[in-house]
Amino acid sequence: MSVEPLSQKEIEDRLAELPGWTLDGDRLTRSYRLDSHFAAAAMVVHIARTQEELDHHSDLTLGYHTVSLAVHTHSAGGAVTEKDFELARKVEALAPGHGAH
């Protein structure tokens, strides 16, 4: 998986395929609203497991009914890379209504 920084156009093209994800400064961000705090906490565990499998970790925040992520690649100087989008796609698959949970 490439850790080369993506161009603005490449980022925009990939974001078009991931509704709900945005570029905030130098990070991909997304928040999810879940039905309960327990569901949000469970999603955090699934995301953490996915991050370990990919060896790619993001800022991950648990709120009362929310889970928020901010993703960028430290080894690319904090830039957005394909590795960030790989994580974003896998997190989307974990989101309620999108895949196995």
* pLDDT per residue as tens digits for the range 31-54: 999 999 999 999 999 999 999 999
Mean pLDDT of 69-76: 95
pLDDT of residue 2: 61
Structural tokens at position 24: 């905030």
pTM of the model: 0.92
Mean pLDDT of 77-89: 96
In the chain, domain spans = 6-14+21-96
Please check whether the domain covering 6-14+21-96 is classified as CATH 3.40.50.150.
no
